[in-house]
Structure 1
Amino acid sequence: MSAVWRASRAAVKRRRVQTFVIGLVVLCSTTTVLLALGVLAAASEPFDKAYAVQRGAHVVASFDTAKVTEAQLARTAGRPGVEAAAGPFGQAVVATPKGWLGKPGGSLTVVGRADPAGPVDRIEILQGRWATAPGEIVVNWAFDGSPYAKLLGTKLAVPDAPPLTVVGFANSMSKSAGAWVTPDQVNALRPASAQMLYRFADSSTEAQLRAGLAGATAELPGESLTNTQSYLTIKQAFSALADAYLPFMSLFGVLGLLVSALIVGNVVSGAVVSGYRHIGVLKALGFTPNQVVAVYLTMMSVPAVVGGVLGTLLGRALAGPILKVSFSGIETGRASVGTVPWWVYAVCLVGMPALVLLAALVPALRAHRLSAAQAISAGGAPRPGRGLRVQRVLGFTELPRPVSLGLGQPFARPGRTLLTMAAIVLGVTTVTLSTGLTSTMLAMGSAGRGDGGAHVLVHADGAGDRPPPLLGDAQIEERLRSLPGARHVRARGLAEVGLVGQTQPAFANFYRGNDSSYAYEIVEGRLPGAAGEIAAGPAFLAQRGLRIGDRVTLELDGRQVPTTIVGRQTAGNARSLDTTWETLEQLAPGSRAIEYYVRLSPGADAEAYAAAVEATDPGLSVSVEDGGNAATITVVTFSTVFTVLLTLVASLGVFNTVLLNTRERRRDLGMLKSIGMTPRQVVVMTVTSVAGLGVVGGLLGIPLGMLAHRLVVDNVGVVEFPESMKDVWHAPELAAMLLAGVAIAVLGALVPARSAARMTIASVLHTE
């Protein structure tokens, strides 16, 4: 073994460039794989883990207490298929004023529970303590970060009863309630319904949950079940933003795996094949066939392990910021998001070196069977017949001789050429996909800004340290319209409303001043234009099983307004909907706007307008919108990172191919130089040998990238792009994509080409 190690170490030192290329390829490939696997794992595992720890309810069910008794509900816990159950708990709805605990106002579902523990839906106390006496309430903290201790002691007025005092903040992954009180306190609130929490033995699909609930409630009176909430809906809301990124992250991950496997296989197998002469020498010196295989596997494992470790460390450093961006704004409960599971690191640390050894094993086993003389012979240049015929045919054309010679070289090593071209194809596919996604997201971000006018956002909610506005709502809007540069003003009100028949409330945006310039927000249907009309994003509609034409009743402070869905938005929060100011007047007459969107005329000075607004009323604050958004930044960031990584890996593959070809053909290069070929012609010949592969790779990679782009934009769960944002391909862009294939090839070939050009005739003949 000592002889094997000494021979392997000597080979690593002698082939520094080759060893460096293998290590760098493995490093980039490992980083790419780790990022792809990390995002995929982080999108689902935190929720599943946290939900299991808190024994989250698979189904939260509400029952009409006028039609079913507590004893009947309690017996459902023993029905077949029910793994565990908790309840019945009294459930009431109370109104919350605007500004209470920073909420926009609306309704609050309150449940009576004696303690936060139990077989289902174990509630975690975040601040304060559990409610143990009448007049105390614990609020479900649904915001990012930790609750503020100074909010403890806040009062909530209740009609015909003493006020409730906030004694704690808690978190329920099941989202079973907005707040909890003692059972005696909830009875004082005159609950009209009771809540049961179920965990079922089979719960992986909606069909299984429906079957389990049907079995549990089979003996209850008809129509006693008034509402249900599935944990699968909560899980979808949890990862809604991540789901928007997963389609293209998955594609980038697959591309990364394919490019990495192809390049690693090509680089490693080429390194072994180019070392056949060395293998023959080792055999002539007395090394057994098994020792020869061990030498080359050891030689390849050194840069593979180093590259795998460094790639894992680099991937870990990049994964934190990338995951933080992709999961920002998601309600995570107590689940930790932004960390990569340990098994991803294990896969990268073990899998990539294993791939290198597997790629090296195949040609090494072939050398295992060769005699010393055969191995030395195989280590020379490839047989001239493979590429010579093509070069002779091209020689009869009007192409310059260096170009015709270069175009024929790939045919000398067809296997190596196909692997290199496949890497270029995938590299062009990646560049095309990245360009298309960036164009689509930029088109989305710039929608509504076609006239070039700046957008200004005026806050009038009195949040933070600002005093409430002195002017009335109508006066503020009139003033904003009258200031120089204003072209259009759109007011927005906000309230948390209940949806009759559903436990989860929604944040309703009430707009005044809609016009046709906001039509880009709608992908199907139209903007709400009258009282009782609403529009919502695809995530909101999908999670509630709604579509255009369906009717939904909104409830606020005891008032109800039936509404109709008239539009599906391009994008939207999974918990929000948009409607008209007339609808707000029916739900909460006299409400004020909290924000005003002002679109300025082209060329208007946004900063001067902002200063004029703030001088009008100290309760107003202004921000100038730059047109960017988190989704655009995330997609562009992901695309850029993966495109750079995969392009670098593909270029390294080309670099390795040209380097091996140059070394194998050094005798031919010496002869060509001896008959007058200049260094510049050598560079042209060498670069041309892969530039043709770049053209073919571009022609094949462009349609694949366009197909991948369409696949991604058509399957993003929280965004629906209109056709105008999907149609991003034009002649200049396609020409640039074609040049990308050539650029990848030339970038990888340039350094070894210049090295070959500097070789002297004497040095080449000396090696012979």
Structure 2
Amino acid sequence: MSGLGTVVRSGTGRRRVQTLVIGLATMMAVAASVLGGTLLVISGAPFDDAFARQHGAHLSLQFDAAKVSAGRLAASRDAEGVSAAAGPFPTAVLTPRGDAGPAWPVTVAGRGDPGGVDRVALADGRWPARPGEIALSADAPLFAAPGTRIGFAGPAGAQELTVVGVGRSVTGTADAWVVPSQMPALTAPGTGGHQMLYRLADSGTAAGIAAGGRAVTRGLPAGAVAGEQSWLTVRKNAERDTALYVPFLMAFGLLGLVMSVLVVGNVVASAVGTGTRRIGILKAVGLTPAQVVRAYAAQALIPAAAGTVLGVLAGHLLAVPVLAEAGEVYGTSSPAVAPWVDAAVVAGVLALVAATAWASARRAGRLRTVDALAVGRHTPAGHGRWAARVAGRLPLPLPVALGVVRPFARPARALAMGTAVLFGTVAVTFTVGMGASLGEVMAARAHDAADVVVPAPPPDFGSRGPGAGGPGTDGGAGVPPRAAPAAVAAAVEAAAGTGRHYSAATVRATVAGLTGTVDVHAFTGDASWGGYTMVSGRWIEGPGEAVVPTPLLAATGTRIGGSLTLGGLAEPVTVRIVGELLDPRKEGMQVFTDASTLAAARPDLTETSHHIAVAPGTDVDAYVDALGADLAPLGATARAGGLDGGSDMVVTLNALSAVLTLMLVAVAALGVLNGVLLDTRERIREIGVHKALGMTPRQTVAMVLTSVAVTGLAAGVLGVPLGVALHGRVLPAMGESVGLGLPGSVIAVYDWAALVPLALGGLLIAGLGALLPAGWAARTRTATALRTE
């Protein structure tokens, strides 16, 4: 091994704490950067691959057949900006009956073949070739298996169709497909609609899509467009799950990178400062200034390289499970971490470490040999004398006074330690805030502030087939009667201790312009107290009004004050949007309205839940028992209310934030340990003098710990507002990435009761880092300390 290699190996092995600090800091930065960069780059890759392979539609338009003819729509193929088009396809919203599952409305399109624009990729079976056959979308709310028979009510009587295939439209243009000649038997003349699918020359921006929409609809009657869908909206929904993590991981990655630079710079500078005499010896035996600089830079690069390798492995392990399901959804291979992301992160981090180490090590190269050999290890005279004089006038024990003034004797080192503690405090503050915010989101998701709940009967409760009894009737031998909502509501109203209460029923409906169905929650009574979190606007106050989550507003291109038309019911229902709601369930595809709004559509509201707030002073358990006894003859039960459990996404985010925060706190504490260890070794002879004059081991520990108290407290006080500011920037970005608007109650989660302990957290991190050096100083024998040079 060369002489330079021996110096590098010796220095790395001798400074084990510094080596560990650099390796851990680099690993944390690389892991967060690889994971965040990977999710940012390939979160949309499965959708993009499927969209390109299936020649997806950039713009899907649904037209009212009563206002525009198929022939006129066919001419839109030649509109400006249209590169390809398919259609018009006759469409209808139908409610199936049979073996295919719940009777939820589906969008059926008459399409002769699966090719062309928005090619339907068949996963099983074949495409319908004649009337009486149907192909289902793999994403449809039906039991999608070839051979299943599905019945539809048609103008000439019931139509029974056989499922012959299962496919997927990458942009979800329909739930099922039949041959065009089948559609007249399913829809009455003058009803239904037409669907056109367009590929546009300018499709990369929302403005380009809007321009294409104006071009193809120019000259059509007002109200002819019943709904539209942009591929950009579908793509954003496809990226939603993984995009959520990107702002969060980028924040941790940036914290890790900055801390890596600070740690490497501090460690190398400290190694040069404490090894001045050693540098002089190395130069005296023949090492050139450039070799000395390379030696100290290499001592930082070796653990950084090891940390980089471990960080890449950790990033891969964390990224792959997050993306595992994306490939299955679109029928593509499972996404993998892009090699160039690894290469970019590794090259960037190592280059940053190398530049920092080189800049810090240049001082070693500039030192003259004679000067380096003559320099001792004592603190430069004059540093901190004014602080010592001030501390001497304060009523402090001598060990505490000696410790408090120490940061002023080594201001550069104290600043480096304080910066490490600062970033640790920022990470802890951010993580605590994010946990509280996610708790608020989960509370909004559960929106169950009721003390007592009477659950709705399950969908298969009782008989659902032909001839089954209605609400409150016996469904057959051995089947308990279905509880009538009115009877249950009367029992709740009559129960002693009942305060406020409301009932909620859920039906499925379609929304013009969207495929698939949405959940429509119909309330009887005032549900505004039920835990529903408004982003903007207000809660429903009467018939015809509705509140909807942010994703539905985005998907339909509507806003507060606009309207939505609900289909798939006995009659179409138009509602006016009066509020935007925070509700991440069902991907935000929900509508909340008053039950009287749906009266004309005659929905089935037998599956109704009841939510009760008991009167003040009422014992909830006793109320549940008494109400349960009253409801038993009706076939209903009562239980105590409360919030539902969290989601896997929240568990994953909390786990990731906890792991990354612990890593940052560990790096911060090790940075403090490194600084205090260097400081303690420098002043070991001084500590020996104090011990000779009577300082006890306990007082020695107190002196060392208080030497970081001012630094840790100052870093904590400064780190808390920075952590709050980081939380205020990252949380809205996370919400925007998944299409959710976040109200102030989700962002403003800090209060003084939490901020004060968080500020003291900097003191705790600093104390943890100084604990081991303090113990070492206390155990050192006085004679040994006095002999140390």
Range class of TM-score, shorter chain: 0.7 to 0.9
CA drift of 1:173 comes to: 1.9
2:546 aligned with 1:527: no
Q: 1:450 to 1:677 in 2, by over 3 A?
A: farther
Once the two structures are superposed, the pairs formed by residues 227-376 of structure 1 within 5 Å of their partners are: 227-240=227-240, 247-319=247-319, 333-334=330-331, 340-376=337-373
CA drift of 1:250 comes to: 4.2
CA drift of 1:746 comes to: 0.9
On the 8 A contact 1:458/1:597 being kept in 2, the answer is no
Deviation per CA, 1:467-491: give whole Å up to 9, x if none. Answer: 9762243345556778899766644
2:114 aligned with 1:111: no
Q: Give the secondary structure class of the aligned counterpart of 2:558.
A: coil
Q: From 640, 655, 660, give the equivalent of 2:678.
A: 660
2:590 aligned with 1:565: no
On the 8 A contact 1:454/1:604 being kept in 2, the answer is no
Which residue in the other structure is 2:726 paired with? 708
In 1, the alpha carbon distance for the partners of 2:593 and 2:229 equals 24
CA drift of 1:189 comes to: 4.6
In 1, the alpha carbon distance for the partners of 2:462 and 2:481 equals 16
CA drift of 1:216 comes to: 5.3
Q: Give the secondary structure class of the aligned counterpart of 1:385.
A: coil
Out of 507-516 and 344-353, give the one that drifted further.
344-353
Q: Give the secondary structure class of the aligned counterpart of 1:198.
A: strand
2:137 aligned with 1:140: yes
Which residue in the other structure is 2:561 paired with? 549
Q: Give the secondary structure class of the aligned counterpart of 1:559.
A: coil
On the 8 A contact 1:43/1:242 being kept in 2, the answer is yes
Q: 1:272 to 1:310 in 2, by over 3 A?
A: farther
2:600 aligned with 1:604: no
2:465 aligned with 1:470: no
On the 8 A contact 1:135/1:164 being kept in 2, the answer is yes
On the 8 A contact 1:126/1:171 being kept in 2, the answer is yes
Q: From 636, 648, 651, give the equivalent of 2:669.
A: 651
Q: Give the secondary structure class of the aligned counterpart of 2:774.
A: helix
On the 8 A contact 1:424/1:741 being kept in 2, the answer is yes
Which residue in the other structure is 2:85 paired with? 86
In 2, the alpha carbon distance for the partners of 1:365 and 1:356 equals 14
Which residue in the other structure is 2:419 paired with? 422
In 2, the alpha carbon distance for the partners of 1:611 and 1:345 equals 60
2:700 aligned with 1:682: yes
Q: From 126, 129, 134, give the equivalent of 1:129.
A: 126
CA drift of 1:139 comes to: 1.6
In 2, the alpha carbon distance for the partners of 1:719 and 1:463 equals 35
Deviation per CA, 1:54-91: give whole Å up to 9, x if none. Answer: 33221112346677776765565565544x42312412
Deviation per CA, 1:631-681: give whole Å up to 9, x if none. Answer: 654554444333322222222221222122223333433343344433333
In 2, the alpha carbon distance for the partners of 1:69 and 1:455 equals 51
On the 8 A contact 1:268/1:356 being kept in 2, the answer is no
Which residue in the other structure is 1:31 paired with? 31
Q: Give the secondary structure class of the aligned counterpart of 2:588.
A: coil
Deviation per CA, 1:600-633: give whole Å up to 9, x if none. Answer: 7644179979997997688989897554332654
Out of 591-600 and 560-569, give the one that drifted further.
591-600
Out of 24-33 and 484-493, give the one that drifted further.
484-493
Once the two structures are superposed, the pairs formed by residues 20-59 of structure 1 within 5 Å of their partners are: 20-41=20-41, 43-59=43-59
Q: From 649, 659, 670, give the equivalent of 2:688.
A: 670
Q: 1:582 to 1:63 in 2, by over 3 A?
A: closer
CA drift of 1:578 comes to: 0.9
In 2, the alpha carbon distance for the partners of 1:438 and 1:7 equals 47
Deviation per CA, 1:288-331: give whole Å up to 9, x if none. Answer: 3333233333333322222222233334334456678xx99x99
In 2, the alpha carbon distance for the partners of 1:713 and 1:602 equals 39
CA drift of 1:577 comes to: 0.9
CA drift of 1:242 comes to: 5.4
2:595 aligned with 1:581: yes
Letter in 2 for 1:555: G
Q: 1:759 to 1:96 in 2, by over 3 A?
A: same
Once the two structures are superposed, the pairs formed by residues 149-160 of structure 1 within 5 Å of their partners are: 150=145, 152-159=147-154, 160=156
CA drift of 1:762 comes to: 3.7
TM-score by length of 2: 0.84
On the 8 A contact 1:458/1:622 being kept in 2, the answer is no
In 1, the alpha carbon distance for the partners of 2:246 and 2:19 equals 35
Q: From 702, 724, 742, give the equivalent of 2:763.
A: 742
CA drift of 1:129 comes to: 2.5
On the 8 A contact 2:97/2:150 being kept in 1, the answer is no
Q: 1:365 to 1:521 in 2, by over 3 A?
A: closer
On the 8 A contact 1:485/1:604 being kept in 2, the answer is no
In 1, the alpha carbon distance for the partners of 2:215 and 2:448 equals 57
Q: List alignment gaps of at least 5 residues for structure 2.
A: 465-474
In 1, the alpha carbon distance for the partners of 2:145 and 2:447 equals 43
Q: Give the secondary structure class of the aligned counterpart of 1:566.
A: strand
Q: 1:590 to 1:683 in 2, by over 3 A?
A: closer
On the 8 A contact 1:91/1:192 being kept in 2, the answer is yes
Which residue in the other structure is 1:751 paired with? 772
Q: Give the secondary structure class of the aligned counterpart of 2:572.
A: strand
Which residue in the other structure is 1:629 paired with? 646
Letter in 1 for 2:710: G
Q: From 504, 508, 514, give the equivalent of 2:520.
A: 508
Deviation per CA, 1:494-545: give whole Å up to 9, x if none. Answer: 3332334656643212223444532643344443343322111222223333
Q: 1:577 to 1:340 in 2, by over 3 A?
A: farther
Q: 1:339 to 1:662 in 2, by over 3 A?
A: farther
In 2, the alpha carbon distance for the partners of 1:43 and 1:612 equals 52
CA drift of 1:384 comes to: 3.0
On the 8 A contact 1:272/1:360 being kept in 2, the answer is no
Q: Give the secondary structure class of the aligned counterpart of 2:202.
A: coil
Q: 1:368 to 1:493 in 2, by over 3 A?
A: same
Once the two structures are superposed, the pairs formed by residues 372-391 of structure 1 within 5 Å of their partners are: 372-376=369-373, 380-391=377-388
Q: Give the secondary structure class of the aligned counterpart of 1:102.
A: coil
CA drift of 1:360 comes to: 1.4
Q: 1:383 to 1:203 in 2, by over 3 A?
A: farther
Q: Give the secondary structure class of the aligned counterpart of 1:629.
A: coil
Identity, % of aligned positions: 36
In 2, the alpha carbon distance for the partners of 1:366 and 1:340 equals 40
Q: Give the secondary structure class of the aligned counterpart of 1:411.
A: helix
Q: Give the secondary structure class of the aligned counterpart of 1:202.
A: coil
Q: 1:59 to 1:719 in 2, by over 3 A?
A: closer
Q: 1:527 to 1:52 in 2, by over 3 A?
A: same
On the 8 A contact 2:134/2:165 being kept in 1, the answer is yes
Letter in 2 for 1:297: A
Q: Give the secondary structure class of the aligned counterpart of 2:394.
A: coil
On the 8 A contact 2:457/2:482 being kept in 1, the answer is no
Out of 41-50 and 477-486, give the one that drifted further.
477-486
Q: 1:531 to 1:449 in 2, by over 3 A?
A: closer
CA drift of 1:217 comes to: 5.7
Out of 63-72 and 656-665, give the one that drifted further.
63-72
Q: 1:456 to 1:752 in 2, by over 3 A?
A: farther
Which residue in the other structure is 2:754 paired with? 733
Letter in 2 for 1:552: L
In 2, the alpha carbon distance for the partners of 1:485 and 1:338 equals 56
Which residue in the other structure is 2:607 paired with? 593
Q: 1:45 to 1:463 in 2, by over 3 A?
A: farther
In 2, the alpha carbon distance for the partners of 1:27 and 1:246 equals 18
Q: List alignment gaps of at least 5 residues for structure 1.
A: none
Out of 72-81 and 424-433, give the one that drifted further.
72-81
CA drift of 1:148 comes to: 6.0
Q: Give the secondary structure class of the aligned counterpart of 2:405.
A: helix
